[in-house]
Structure 1
Amino acid sequence: MSSFDFAPMPNAEGFFGSYGGQIIPPELKAIMDDIDRAYREIKDTEAYRSELLELYKYYVGRPSPLYYAKRLTEHCGGAKIFLKREDLNHTGAHKINHCLGEALLAKYMGKTKVLAETGAGQHGVALATACSLVGIECEIHMGQVDIEKEHPNVTKMKILGCKVVPVTRGTATLKDAVDSAFEEYLKDPVNFFYAIGSVVGPHPFPMMVRDFQSIIGEEARAQFLEQTGELPNYITACVGGGSNAMGLFTAFLNDESVNIVGVEPAGKGLDTQEHSATLTLGAPSELHGMKCYVLQTEDGEPMPVHSIASGLDYPGVGPQHSYLKDIERVDYTSITDQECLDAFMTLSRKEGIIPALESSHAVAYAMKLAPTLPADQTILVNLSGRGDKDADYVADKLGL
C-alpha cells in the first residue's frame, strides 16, 4: 500500500485527523447537519451534477487552460513553469467554482438569503454573481480596509445587486468580516445560508468547498499528462484559508512522485508580527467552528495578521491543510510582500498575465524554486486569480 493512500477525508464527524469538526452551539449544529444532509442528498444526483457541470462549461468557461510560461521559465532558468489559468474563469478567480455549488444548494434547500464574508472581494463577486444567476438575495460582509483597497470588486458586487456591509471593528479585515457575517447569519439560520468562502469553518464546509474546487486538480492532472506525457515534479498554490490550494492538491495526493507545496504570506517578515504564516508559525487551536492551526497572541486570542494580499490575511487555515502538514504530505513555506510584488510585476512583463496578489505568492515561490532544479523538471502553479482588482493598488505602491 502506498504511504499516500488516505482514508476518506473527512470522517463522518467532519474531522481530518484531529482537525475540523463542529465546535459550535447545539442549535447551530442542527443547522450544519441539515446542510450536510442536503449536500449529500443532491451532490451525486444527475440533475444537480449536470446543472453544475453545464454551468462550469458554458458559464464559467471550464476547463481553464494549462499554460507553459516559456518566457518566465527562460527568465528564471532551470525547471519549466506551467500555470493553471483559474484567472480566466468568469469573475476572474477560482472562487466561482464553489460559489455556484453553494448557491444552487441554498436554492435547493429553500433558503431566502445567502450571506458571506470576503477579503480580496473575489469570493464576494463570485457569490453575488452566482446568487444573481439563481435568483436569491445576497449579502456580503467586508472589512473597511479591504473595501478601500479592493474598490473595483466592491463596485462589481453592488452592480450585481448584492448588499455590501462594511466592517470597521478590530483590524477591519477578513477575520472581522467573518465574525460580522456569522453574527448576521445567527439571526435566522433556518432561512439564511452562510456560504463560507474557503475550506474553513464547521463541517461540512471544509469538505464541500474542497469538493467543488477539486475540479481544478482533476483538470490540471489530465491536462499535464496530455501535454507533457508525465506528472509535474512540483505543484504549488497560495494558502490563506486554502481553497484554491486544496482544489489543486486533492487530485495529486496519492501521486508519490509529485511534491506539493503550499505558500503562505510572510508579509513584512516572519520575524515581525505582520504576517499570516499560520501553518509556519501557528499552533493547533480553535477558530470559527473548527480545530486548525491558528496564529495566536500570548493570551490565546487570534493574532492580528497582515498580508499585502487581502484574500490571505486570515489567522487560521483549513483543517485538511493542518492535517496534511502534520503527516508531512504537503510542505508549507512562505513568501514576503516584497517577493510577491516582484513576482506580480515579473509575470505581468514576461508573459502579459497580471496575476492576483494572492496568486503572486505561488508564482514567487516557483520563481525561487525553478533555478534550483534541472531543466527537465516541471513546476505547476495554480494561478488562482487575476490582478485587475490589485492593479491600482500596486501601481500606487510602486509609483507607476
Structure 2
Amino acid sequence: MTDSNQTQIPDINGFFGEWGGRFVPPQLEAVIKEVEQAYLAIRQDPTFWEEYRYLLKNYVGRPSPLWRAQNLTAKLGGAQIYLKREDLNHTGAHKINHCLGEALLAKRMGKKRVIAETGAGQHGVALATAAALVGLKCEIHMGAIDIAKQHPNVIRMKMLGTKVIEVSQGGACLKDAVDSAFTDFVTNHDDTFFAIGSVVGPHPYPMMVQDFQSVVGREARAQIQEQAGRLPDYLVACVGGGSNAMGLFTAFLEDKDVAIIGVEPAGKGSQPGEHAATLTYGTPGTLHGMKTYLLQDDKGEPLPVHSIASGLDYPGVGPLHAYLKDIERVQYVSATDAETLAAFQELSEVEGIIPALESAHAVAHAIKLAPTLGKDKIVVVNLSGRGDKDIDYVAEVLGM
C-alpha cells in the first residue's frame, strides 16, 4: 500500500490519484479558491483548532463512546461487535463535527450566511445548530421527498432559526438539493459560505470535511486499544457521499491488518433508480465539481437513485472513496432496504439503540459478517446517527 500522504491527502490540485479536483464554471473558480486559501491558512492555525476542540468537548460532548454491543454479539455468536456512538453527539449524528468547523471557517472569512444541502436532515440540523451558535444566518436546501420523510428534522431546523428551501425539481432528493444550493452560492457568494455536507464537491471540500471528521477514527483507535488491548480486525461504515466512513477509516488506512468495509445502499434492486450503490455500479464521471464514480446514463447525466435512507440517495461518492476502491484498500459492499430495515429493528430490540437508517446499512453488514468470524475477532461499526428522525417513516413502512 502507498504511504499516508498519498492515501489520505490530495495533491495540490485536489486529486486523490485520478479522482477529485475542481471542475467548476469560471464564475465559481475564484469563489472556491477563496475557500481553499482560507482553509489552508486555518489548517495551520493552532488557535482555530483550539477553539474547535473546545467546542467538540464542551458543546458536542466528545469523545463519543465506543460501546461493546454485548447482547448483539452474544446473539450472533461470532466476532465481538463494537459501536462507535456518533448518535450520542449533540444533534444526533456525526454531521456536527464538520458543521462546527465549516461555521467557524465562515465566521473567520467574514461571511454572514451559511447554506447547505441536506438529505436525511442531519447535516441541515447540525449546520443550523452551528450557525445559531456562532451567529450566522442559515438556509438549507432539501428535496421535497426528503422533507416529507424527515419531518422531525425539518421542524428542528426551523426551530433553530433556519430557513428550509424546498426543492421540487428533478428527483426532489439529495442530488437536486445540492444543485439548488450551488445555484444559490453562485448568486450570493459575496456574503455566503456553502457548507457542503460530505466528503464531496470541488477541492478543498473533500479534504476539509475529512479533516473535521477524522476525530471519529482517532477516538475509536484509542478507545478500542484501551478496551480490547489491540486494533480491530474490521471497520464497517455506511457510504453515501461518505463523510462518516472517512471519519472512521482515516485513522486506520495505514494498518494493513485492519480490513475496512464501506456499505452502500442496494435499495430495492439492481436496475437504475432502484439503488444508490455508486461504487458497485458506477462509472467515472464528473458531478458537483469533482471527478468520481457516478451513476449516470449514456449522456453522462446522473441517474435517479433510491435508498430507504434519505442521507444515502446520492448518485456520486467522495473522491477519496473512489481512490480507495481502486487501490483495493477498502472493500465496498451493499445492503438492501429490507436488510437495513431488519437491522434497524434488530439493534433497537436487542441493544436498546435505535439507529439512523443510514447507519443501519452498516449494522446490516456487521450482522452478516460477525457470525462468519471467530469470537476472537473484533468488528467496529460506525453508528453514524440516531434513528429519531426515522421512526415515523419506519412505523409507516412496517404498518405499526
Normalised TM-score (structure 1): 0.98
Q: Equivalent residues in 2 for 1:1-400 (5 A)?
A: 3=2, 5-7=4-6, 9-271=9-271, 273-400=273-400
Structure 2: distance between partners of 1:354 and 1:49: 32
In 1, Cα distance between equivalents of 2:123 and 2:139: 12
For residues 3 and 98 of structure 1, what CA distance do their matches in structure 2 show?
A: 27
SS of the equivalent of 2:188 reads coil
Give the partner amino acid of 1:384. Answer: S
How many angstroms apart in 2 are the aligned matches of 1:47 and 1:3? 32
Identity %: 65
Task: Please give the secondary structure, in 2, of the residue aligned with 1:111.
Answer: coil
Structure 2 gap segments, 5+ residues each? none
Measure, in 2, the Cα distance between the counterparts of 1:195 and 1:90: 18
The separation in 1 between residues aligned to 2:228 and 2:380, in whole angstroms, is 12
SS of 1:164's equivalent in the other structure is strand
Question: C-alpha distance in 2, partners of 1:218/1:57?
Answer: 14
- The residue type equivalent to 2:295 in the other structure is L
Give me the whole-angstrom Cα distance separating, in 2, the residues matched to 1:117 and 1:273: 21
SS of match in other structure, 1:187: helix
| RMSD value, Cα | 1.0
Q: Does the 8 A contact of 1:293 with 1:317 survive in 2?
A: yes
Counting matched residue pairs gives 399
CA contact (8 A) 1:118 1:174 kept: yes
Q: Distance in 1 between matches of 2:397 and 2:273?
A: 21
**C-alpha separation between the residues in 2 aligned to 1:372 and 1:284?**
34
SS of the aligned residue for 2:232 comes to coil
Distance in 2 (alpha carbons) for counterparts of 1:379 and 1:136 = 40
Measured after TM superposition, the shift of residue 43 of structure 1 is 2.5
Report SS of the residue matched to 2:178.
Answer: helix
The separation in 1 between residues aligned to 2:27 and 2:42, in whole angstroms, is 24
Q: Distance in 2 between matches of 1:5 and 1:312?
A: 27
Inter-partner Cα distance in structure 2 for 1:57 and 1:5: 27
Give the 3 Å change call, closer, same or farther, for CA 110–283 of structure 1 in structure 2: same
Whole-Å separation in 1 of the counterparts to 2:320 and 2:183 = 25
- Structure 1 residue 34: Cα displacement: 1.1
Residue 77 of structure 1 and its aligned partner are, at CA, apart by 1.6
| Paired residue type of 1:55 | L
Q: Label 1:186 to 1:5 Cα distance change in 2 as closer, same or farther (>3 A).
A: closer
Q: CA separation in 2, counterparts of 1:50 and 1:327?
A: 35
- Aligned counterparts of 1:333 and 1:210: Cα–Cα separation in 2: 21
Whole-angstrom distance in 2 between the partners of 1:373 and 1:31: 50
Q: Report the CA distance shift for 1:3/1:193 in structure 2 as closer, same or farther (over 3 A).
A: closer
Contact 1:295 1:303 in 2 (8 A): yes
Structure 2: distance between partners of 1:79 and 1:397: 31
Alpha-carbon shift at residue 5 of structure 1 (Å): 4.4
Aligned-residue offset at 1:300: 2.1
Q: Distance in 1 between matches of 2:305 and 2:143?
A: 13
Inter-partner Cα distance in structure 1 for 2:157 and 2:191: 22
8 A contact 2:278–2:316 mirrored in 1 = yes
2:123 alignment partner, SS class: helix
Quote how far apart the aligned CAs of 1:352 are. 0.3
Q: CA deviation at 1:56?
A: 0.1
Instruction: Classify the secondary structure of the residue corresponding to 2:193.
Output: strand
Task: State the distance in 2 between where 1:136 and 1:271 align.
Answer: 42
Question: Aligned equivalents of 2:67 and 2:38: distance in 1?
Answer: 37
Contact kept, 8 Å, 1:61 with 1:89, in 2: the verdict is yes
- The alpha carbon displacement at 1:152 in A equals 0.2
Amino acid of the structure 1 residue aligned with 2:274? E
Contact 1:4/1:256, CA 8 A, preserved across alignment: no
> Are the counterparts in 1 of residues 225 and 231 from structure 2 also a CA contact under 8 Å?
yes
Which amino acid in structure 1 is aligned with residue 360 of structure 2? S
Amino acid of the structure 2 residue aligned with 1:325: K
Deviation at 1:76, TM superposition (A): 1.4
Whether the aligned pair in 2 keeps the contact of 1:4 and 1:255 (CA below 8 Å) is no
SS of structure 2 residue aligned to 1:371: helix
| TM-score relative to the length of structure 2 | 0.98
Question: For residues 286 and 155 of structure 1, what CA distance do their matches in structure 2 show?
Answer: 34
Alignment check: 8 A CA contact 1:4 1:253 kept:
no
Secondary structure, aligned partner of 1:333: strand
Structure 1 letter corresponding to 2:297: T
CA shift for structure 1 position 271: 4.7
Provide Cα deviations, 1:301-340, integer angstroms capped at 9, x if missing partner.
1010000000000000000000000000000000000000
Deviation at 1:230, TM superposition (A): 0.6
Kept in 2: contact 1:324–1:330 (CA 8 A): yes
